[in-house]
Structure formats: C-alpha cells, structure tokens
C-alpha cells in the first residue's frame, strides 16, 4: 500500500494495487476459469440461434428453409459444434465451482485434477453427442 496526500494535505491510505495478470504463472485452473466466463458469454450469443430456430418454426417453410440451410452449412455446423462445447464446458465448470463452493477439492492436486476432468468431460460429451447425432441422421 502507498500513502497519498489529499488536497488539504491530509495523509490518506490508498487501496492496495491488485497484481496484474503478467505477475501470475498461468495454470490450467486459471485458463479454465477464464474459459468458463467466455463460454457463458458464448451461450448468450448461442441462444440467438435457438431464437432464430423457434421463430423460423413459427413463421413459414421459407423461413425454416433459410435456417436449415445456414445450420447445415460448414459455418453453421462449426458454430453449432462450438455452442455444444460451450454448453458442456460451462456446465462442468459450474459443477466444478459448486464443488469448490462446498469446500471440496481446494487443495493443489484435487484442484488441478477436477479442472482437467471438467475440460476432458466437456470435450468428450461434445464429441459423443455429435457422433450420436451423425449416426442417427
């Protein structure tokens, strides 16, 4: 902390400065925490896809045809794959945070293990869902 003089000359105690990200060593836990926030934002954007689908269903065949053409394109499938991964990753990240909130898995090996597990589980479920969707199509 540093001391700062106010306009009247009185000595005020300044709030401590928070260390910048460059001070910290990157860890999987830190990266997955950031990814959890990003996937939360991506889910907001992905909800627009759901709204577009529902509106297309409610209007007419032409609107649904436009939606189906987009979602069936390579770009649409990449976006849908990313949305699926964001959904599972965010879900497992939320479970991870819930486990930490109840006071479990906070020590070093458990913290890293549960973080890696949430990453692998999100990727595995995403791939599994897409394999199943491909097979039943």
Residue 63, classified by CB atoms within 10 Å of its CB into exposed (0-12), middle (13-18) or buried (19+), is: middle
Q: What is the pLDDT of residues 86-136, one digit of tens each?
A: 999 999 999 999 999 999 988 988 999 999 999 999 999 999 999 999 999
DSSP letter for each residue of 52-121: HHHHHHHS-HHHHHHHHHHHHSHHHHHHHHHHHHHHHHHHHHHHHHHHHHTT-S-SHHHHHHHHHHHHHH
Contact between 119 and 89 under an 8 Å Cβ cutoff? The reply is: yes
Q: What is the pTM of this model?
A: 0.78
Structure tokens at 69: 């053409």
**Fold category of 28-136 in CATH:** 3 helical TM bundles of succinate and fumarate reductases (1.20.1300)
Angle, helices 28-58/61-72, rounded to nearest 10 degrees:
150
The residues spanned by each domain of the chain are 28-136
């Amino acid at each position: 902390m540093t001391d700062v003089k106010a306009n009247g000359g009185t000595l005020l105690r300044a709030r401590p400065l928070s260390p910048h990200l460059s001070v910290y060593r990157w860890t999987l836990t830190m990266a997955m925490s950031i990814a959890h926030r990003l996937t939360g934002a991506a889910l907001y954007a992905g909800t627009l896809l759901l709204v577009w689908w529902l509106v297309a269903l409610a209007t007419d065949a032409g609107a649904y045809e436009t939606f189906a053409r987009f979602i069936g394109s390579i770009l649409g499938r990449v976006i849908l794959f990313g949305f699926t991964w964001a959904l599972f990753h965010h879900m497992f990240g939320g479970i991870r945070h819930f486990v930490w909130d109840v006071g479990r898995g906070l020590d070093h090996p458990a913290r890293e293990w549960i973080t890696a597990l949430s990453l692998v589980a999100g990727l595995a479920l995403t791939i599994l869902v897409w394999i199943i969707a491909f097979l039943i199509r």
